[in-house]
Amino acid sequence: MRIVLIGCGVVGQSFARILIRREAELAKNYGFHPRVVAMVDRGGAAVNPKGLDLEKMLSVKVEKGTVAASREYGRLAMSALDVIESVEAEAMVEATPTNIKDGEPGLSHIKTAFKTGKHVVTTNKGPLALALPVLTELADYNKVYLKFSGTVGAGTPVLELAKKCLLGDRIVSIRGILNGTTNYILTEMDEKRITFQQALENAQKLGYAEADPSMDVDGIDAACKLVIMANWIMNKKATLKDVDVQGIRKVTLQALEEAAKRGCTVKLVGSINDNLKVKPTEISRHDPLSVGGVLNAVTFVSEFAGEETIIGRGAGGMETASAILRDLLDIKHNLATTLIA
């Protein structure tokens, strides 16, 4: 499988590292022979139709700041869209940063990949939160796959658990702690009895929160993930504007203390029932959803199999990259099945 990799940040580089480390096993266990024929970052592109030497490209990236600095294969003037349009490949891996204003540049990358017949694996929540119903239709129309396991739960297979492990059953509702940063802040407030502001500053010092923490603390990141689950798992045609979102800025120490008296704690819970909601919610400390620190947790309520909760780290470069690899293997498997049929 020839792959175009757009975005060489932490996730993109981790993906390249996994491909290097698992080359032999992927060939042996799955008959999977990935060849990254192009890599693109903010500085330009590197292209080799025979497959780039990933080890070398990672060195160039680290030393020179851009893969376009490669002497043999660098293309300083080449944009991501140029690459997606002109380089022959079966799949595009899109790992540029999330932008929830207009979904760009990810949205254009994905649409262009579809148009040129490339399957898409993305870890970018922006295009999905804004336009997942449309993108799903476009993928169908162009007869390509759109996969995005890494967008919810990073390496933790939240979407796969729901879609692959509950065959024949029906998921009737979902609730989850979908953002590690806010969960860390709430856990710190609860355990150390510090204010939101103090906990936020700690999280920023540790690198868990951005300088502008709005995506996390205002619940937007969690809302994006909720939209993705609503579409993919529950067939709801929802986008970000359909989510009733409330962040954690107003959660007080007092609220946490009151909750504690009832054997409860306050978590930022995203829920899908009739409506999509993200808001600070009091839950029992005995609820499997009540996880601490940066962990994420999602509970699926199914008709027959009961309630299942999956817990894991919801972030991390290697973790997210492992989800990209899963998606590519899934596409390979689906193609094998469909081509034969």
Q: How far is the CB of 126 from a copy of itself (least distance, A)?
A: 23
Q: Which of 25-34's residues contact partners 24+ apart within 8 Å by CB, and which partners?
A: 26/325, 26/329, 30/329, 30/332, 31/332, 32/1, 32/328, 32/329, 32/332, 33/1, 34/1, 34/3, 34/328
Candidates 225, 267, 277, 332; catalytic one? 225
Which one, 19 or 129, has the nearer CB to a copy of itself?
A: 19
Region label for 6, one of left (φ > 0), alpha (ψ between -120 and 50) or beta (otherwise)? beta
Q: How far is the CB of 116 from a copy of itself (least distance, A)?
A: 26
By CB under 8 A, the residues from 313 to 332 that bind a copy of itself are 313, 316, 318-319, 321-323, 325-326, 328-330
Is 157 among the residues that bind a copy of itself (CB under 8 A)?
Answer: yes
Is 22 among the residues that bind a copy of itself (CB under 8 A)?
Answer: yes
Give CA separation, 270 vs 186, 282, 297, in Å.
Answer: 15, 12, 10
Residue choice 30, 69, 75, 218 for contact with a copy of itself (CB under 8 A):
30
Tell me whether the omega of the peptide bond preceding residue 105 falls within 30 degrees of 0, making it cis: yes
Buried b (16+ CB within 10 A) or exposed e, 152-170: bbbbbbbbbbbeeebeeee
Is 155 among the residues that bind a copy of itself (CB under 8 A)?
Answer: yes
Residue choice 161, 194, 253, 255 for contact with a copy of itself (CB under 8 A):
161
By CB under 8 A, the residues from 36 to 55 that bind a copy of itself are none
Comparing CA positions, the residue from 1, 2, 30, 34 lying closest to residue 17 is 34
- CA separation for the pair 186, 196 (Å, rounded): 8
Whether 17 contacts 11, CB under 8 Å: no
Judge whether 250 counts as a catalytic residue: no
From the centroid of its chain, how far is CA 117?
Answer: 23
Residue choice 69, 100, 166, 255 for contact with a copy of itself (CB under 8 A):
166
Which one, 14 or 239, has the nearer CB to a copy of itself?
A: 14
Is 18 among the residues that bind a copy of itself (CB under 8 A)?
Answer: yes
Residue choice 167, 212, 235, 274 for contact with a copy of itself (CB under 8 A):
167
- CA separation for the pair 307, 190 (Å, rounded): 27
By CB under 8 A, the residues from 283 to 302 that bind a copy of itself are 286, 288, 291-293, 295, 297, 302
Q: Which residues are catalytic?
A: 225
Residues at the site binding a copy of itself, with contacts judged by CB under 8 A: 18, 22, 25-26, 30, 32, 154-157, 160-161, 164-170, 286, 288, 291-293, 295, 297, 302, 304-313, 316, 318-319, 321-323, 325-326, 328-330, 337, 340-341
